[in-house]
Structure 1
Amino acid sequence: MKLPGYGVLAHDLDVTAGDVTRVPGILRDLKAGDTVAMPTVRMLADDLGLPVELAGGWVWESSRRWLGDWQRFWRDARSALIEAGPDDLPAVYALAAVKAVTNAFLGGWLRAPEHNRTASLRVDWAHQVIARARMNAVRGISKASAKPLAIVADTAYFGGIGELGGMWVDEHRFSLGSWKTEKRATATAEIVAAYASGRPNRFRDAINAEMEARR
């Protein structure tokens, strides 16, 4: 499973066989016959301990990291700009540009035939990169002392209790190999009910609604 490629699930994914809170919301409803990138198969089986059986698949027996130099260039640029600090206004603007370029390339350009008519149109690369990033994010979360309430896309949510007894939810976002705290929401009755529903997307929407209401 360490080779890049795709696997076809033989059975519906049983998330109850492991720690459901660590399973990204987008993967909780995988069904028999679904095709997933191999890094996702590795994450489900090795990192989350879920029973995964493949009915078939395709792998590249030889490969190389074509995007390795590209990734290192933008990662190093991001690290240097973050180190410059929020008081360095040019660095703040440059960091926003770096994030926009990397997100647009990995999230769209690699897999957008309506916009990209070059040799860099590689949907298979995009699938492997995104799946590997999700795997690394889940591995990073597993090292945290607290368990996430939910994981949605590149965002994980953790809860806590303040000094005065109020409950809150922190939003952490995974980008270019690291987690960063983005914002905090007060745990309203709507957020608690959304969490109880067991649907990560509903939980995320309730958190976003609470943050929007406080603006």
Structure 2
Amino acid sequence: MHRDTIDRLLLALIVATLAASTIIAWRAPDYFQFSFAAEDRLVENGTALFLLVASLVLLSNAVRLAGRGAWRAALLTGAYALLFFLAAGEEISWGQRIFNWETGDFFAEHNYQGETNLHNLMVGEVRLARVLFGSVLTTVLLLYLVVLPLLYPRVAWLRRVADALAVPVPGLRHAVLALLASGVVAVIHVPRNWEVYELVFALLATAIFVAPQNPEKIR
């Protein structure tokens, strides 16, 4: 299947996800909170799945780059693939609830959900997730998803930096959907609404890595 076709299918899936989430939150808020967006249910498992798919796309891109001798870009892309693989594992606590294995002593003591993952660790009385995965990460993601695709064709130094780091640059279509998703999720006033945003990001990331604005630089 052509990469542009895959990109369009993923973007259509994002629109369908946002529409379904809005309707479910409006018509059945309890179902949204306790089933649809709950731990180990459709939204969370979908997020983990597409983070893994995004990782595999990056790994494929890294192999292609290595094949044409672009070793720096290949190594950077491989590192990005590893980050997304780690994110996929973290999303489902490395399969702890799937395989029903016990939490180790360290995580039982320092993880506020008693799970085997890093993003729910407590540092004193501070939740690591709130510091690193809250407003800071949201700001970084919006800069990447919305600002970078607008400035990349227009600002030469930024384009050079992005290309040197083998950063897959989102297209304008990805930026529009990122803004749409931010607005839709923000008005869903139901607990666990941001779980949907995580799923949308995983889908968007996969679409971007499949069909970026700078394909000749990252695959």
TM-score, scaled to structure 2: 0.29
User: Higher strand proportion, which one?
Assistant: 1
Q: Compare CA radii of gyration and give the structure with the larger one.
A: 1
* Larger relative contact order, structure 1 or 2 (CA cutoff 8 Å, min sep 6): 2
TM-score, scaled to structure 1: 0.29
